[in-house]
Homo-oligomer: A and B are copies of this chain.
Amino acid sequence: MKKTAILLIHCPDQTGLVAAVTDFLHRNNGNVISLDQHVDRQAGRFFMRVEWELEGFNIPAEKIDEYFGTLIGQKYQMEWQVHLSARKPRMAIFVSKMSHCLYDILQRCMSGEWEVEIPVIVSNHENLRYIAERFEIPFEIFPITKANKAEQEQREIELMHKLDIDFIVLARYMQILSDDFVAAFPNQVINIHHSFLPAFKGAKPYHSAFNRGVKVIGATSHYVTADLDEGPIIEQDVRRISHKDTIQDLIRIGKDLEKVVLARAIWLEIQHKILPYQNKTIVFD
């Protein structure tokens, strides 16, 4: 795997943006591997992801952010991020009692499917400690009650900072995060909701789906915002069900959707392929 750099950009749309960025890379001897751009005409906003090889690139990796800002970014009022493929993203996993998403994530990391670090698994319950131990990953318990929630979340935030966490995955974590927690990690917390949002927001979506008599069920991965189940959607998928399926069948079938839809979101996050803007995502997959 060659070392690469990735630029994620968005800014007000105008003529010449792609030319400006690609010219910057070309002049400095950067070989573009992939380039995706999108213009939201309603919002008048330009989005771009470009990845290029670092070998032979004239600007040192650690200086790209500064040079790009000085030469291009500021001129076009861009917001941008630089990511280097050499740095493994650091992901914290929050769980409660259900193991299917957790196992699925750990298997992908252990088998080398994903290049990602997991410095910690956080839970509000002891139930899944044995899995963390099997995979030799630190497991930290923060039991949450109404009384201690603010304090516990503060400790969690500190732990995330201490461990230099890039993003948090809620792998069927059954606690609602406070606005303060969410504000501390803007577009850095990925949740899996067990319905095709916006249908069946809130608790017990499979029960609601059963009662409504739908013929498909779904799952949705999204960034967590202060509004519950209203954050920018990253990925969704569905599967057909029938009148034969009980609520227990829906829960069982749904687990497979949850695993896959969450895993795809994490994969996109690791590849830096998601650009959230307002309440939507641009996904350069």
Contact = CB atoms under 8 A, between A and B. Distances in A.
Contact of A212 (B16, B134, B233, B260): B233
Contact of A280 (B19, B236, B243): B243
A141 interface: no
A134 B196 CA distance: 35
A242 interface: yes
Nearest to A17: B32
Contacts of A200: 198
A217 B154 CA distance: 39
Nearest to A32: B18
Interface in A96-115: 98-100, 103-104, 107-108, 110-111, 113
A218 B260 CA distance: 15
A113 B39 contact: no
Contacts of A111: 98-100
A281 interface: yes
Contacts of A233: 212-215
A35 to B, nearest CB: 5
Interface stretch (A21-29, A71-79, A87-95, A183-191): A21-29
Contact of A99 (B110, B234, B256, B285): B110
